[in-house]
Amino acid sequence: MKRSLFSILLFCSNFLVAQKFEQVAKTPPMGWNSWNTFACDVNEDIVRKAADAIVNSGMKDAGYLYVNIDDCWHGERDSLGFIHPDPDRFPSGMKALADYIHSKGLKIGIYSDAGWKTCGGRPGSRGYEYQDAMQYARWGIDYLKYDWCNTEGLKTEGAYLTMRDALFKAGRPIVFSICEWGNSEPWKWARDVGHLWRTTGDIWPCWDCEYNHGSWSSWGVLKIIDMRGDLREYAGPGHWNDPDMMEVGNGMTAEEDRAHFTLWCMLAAPLIAGNDLHTMSEETRQILTNKEAIAINQDELGIQSLIYSNQDSLEIFAKPLSGGDWAVCFLNRSKDPKDINFKWKEQTVIDPLNNLSLDFSRNTFKIRDVWEAKNAGTSAATYKTKLAGHSVKLLRLSIQ
């Protein structure tokens, strides 16, 4: 016990300049999180099966890396304040689970809260940030989602700085996911604190709804997209806007799931699946593992899309890509079909933030339909198609 106490004191007296780990999350993190499907009913068997499914389904090959345990894994703290997992839910211990996940070539994420208790009523990290960071490093944790429940009297930026410093001093590179729901505008202060920050409240598996929980609400896909306006200037390698985990495979239609996934790809958002991977349909698997769509999300430039046009429920997004390519997404927000007659030669897309432009009067582009996995002509001709309600067309354009 004396040795452990000395370790804590030595750890806390380390006056190196604290910072976040810069070498991680250079592209939007990809993985899976337990909350959207299992909520507090999480255990080590569920997590192991999720890791197995990521490998066996082709998700690992598509780029999914993190297996993230959300709330309710916690047991009690010991006499020195170190947290331990619930022995009934995680009888093998967190280190053994981390070793199993690492043996699959994956990484493991965990959850805590800046307050005295987590949102699910388990022990939070308030006052124990350094013990928790040390414990995560010992276990081999690679990703921390850090929530904001039960934080009365705390200042947001300061609370997240404390955990950032603790993680850095623990010495193990960990992706730090800030989850305070966008209330304090973290995109303005968190670039040097975390690797991603939630921009909104929790997502709900619906197209354009609000699900009222009483004192708070969850939001459908379009509500999430519209909630914060244009935050693209704050996104980039190592610092991502996070519109929450995905709901693909959790009850929306296939068209809505495909649109939802596409929008997250265009926004350069983290791609964190939230469905039951062990029982997902082939249709859901194909959406989550579309490598051409994922390549747009994971593009090395890390530029979030801009809105080029929004008229009569037809919204057009454009995203600059490396090598002079662009991604263009046509989104039909309404339930009714829309006819698209898009005259490329009459369009010029300007991205003043990155000093880039897409000028069809000067260049002709080859067009690739991402979801159909086929070439779709060039920009020399008018692009004509019918877009079903609540659906998208995702195109990749390359100079001919």
Residues serving a catalytic function are 147, 202
> Of 142, 147, 167, 133, nearest to 68 (Cα)?
142
> Of 310, 358, 346, 348, nearest to 330 (Cα)?
310
What does residue 236 show for φ and ψ, rounded to 5 degrees? 170, 180
Please state, in angstroms and rounded to a whole number, the distance separating the CA atoms of residues 19 and 161: 9
In order of 21, 24, 72, 142, 196, the CA distances from 176 in angstroms are 9, 10, 19, 9, 7
> Of 384, 352, 351, nearest to 367 (Cα)?
384
Please state, in angstroms and rounded to a whole number, the distance separating the CA atoms of residues 86 and 41: 12
* Residues facing residue 341 across a β-bridge: 384
Q: Tell me if 116 sits within 8 A of 81, measured CB to CB.
A: no
Please state, in angstroms and rounded to a whole number, the distance separating the CA atoms of residues 92 and 44: 8
> Of 318, 312, 178, nearest to 244 (Cα)?
178
**Assign residue 247 a region: left if phi > 0, alpha if psi is -120 to 50, beta otherwise?**
alpha
129-139 and 94-103 are packed helices; what angle lies between their axes, rounded to 10 degrees? 50
- In the block, tokens 């299992």 appear at 38
Residues with Cβ within 8 Å of residue 155, at least 6 apart in sequence: none
Please state, in angstroms and rounded to a whole number, the distance separating the CA atoms of residues 211 and 286: 28
Please state, in angstroms and rounded to a whole number, the distance separating the CA atoms of residues 334 and 315: 10
